[in-house]
Structure 1
Amino acid sequence: MNKEILNSILFLSFSILIGCKSDNVEGIILENTLVVHQSFSENRRMESLIKSSLDKESNAFNQLIHFPNGGGESSYNFGFVITQIIYKNNDDEIIKMIRNYDKKDIKLLESYIAVGLEYGDNNYDGNMDESNIKDEFPRLFNFINNRIY
Structure 2
Amino acid sequence: MTRILKIPLLLILLTFNSCKQKETNGIEIAETLYVHQDYETNKELRKLIKEALDQKEKAIPKLTSFPCGGGAGCYDLGFVLTQIIYLIGENNFNQMVLRLDTNEIKGLRSLIRAGLEYGDHNNDGKVDDRTIEKEFPILNTTLKE
Q: TM-score range by the shorter chain?
A: 0.7 to 0.9
Q: Match of 2:71?
A: 72
- Residue identity opposite 1:62 in structure 2: P
Q: Match of 2:105?
A: 106
| Superposed counterparts of 1:59-138, under 5 Å | 59-138=58-137
Deviations 1:11-60 (A, max 9, x none): x5x87554321100111111111111111101100010001111111011
- Residue identity opposite 1:112 in structure 2: L
Q: Is the 8 A contact 2:85 2:93 kept in 1?
A: yes
Higher relative contact order (CA 8 A, sep 6+): 2
- Report the CA distance between 1:103 and its aligned residue: 2.8
Q: Is the 8 A contact 1:119 1:130 kept in 2?
A: no
Q: Is 1:35 the counterpart of 2:16 in the alignment?
A: no
TM-score when scaled to structure 2?
0.84
Give the length in aligned residue pairs.
137
- Residue identity opposite 1:136 in structure 2: E
SS at 1:58 equivalent? coil
- Residue identity opposite 1:19 in structure 2: N
Q: Is the 8 A contact 1:23 1:30 kept in 2?
A: yes
- Report the CA distance between 1:74 and its aligned residue: 0.5
Deviations 1:51-108 (A, max 9, x none): 1111111011221111111111101111111100110011111111111333344341
SS at 1:19 equivalent? helix
**Distance in 1, Cα, partners of 2:124 & 2:95:** 30
**Aligned Cα RMSD in Å?**
2.1
**Distance in 2, Cα, partners of 1:103 & 1:129:** 30
- Report the CA distance between 1:130 and its aligned residue: 2.5
Q: Match of 2:140?
A: 141
Q: Match of 2:17?
A: 19
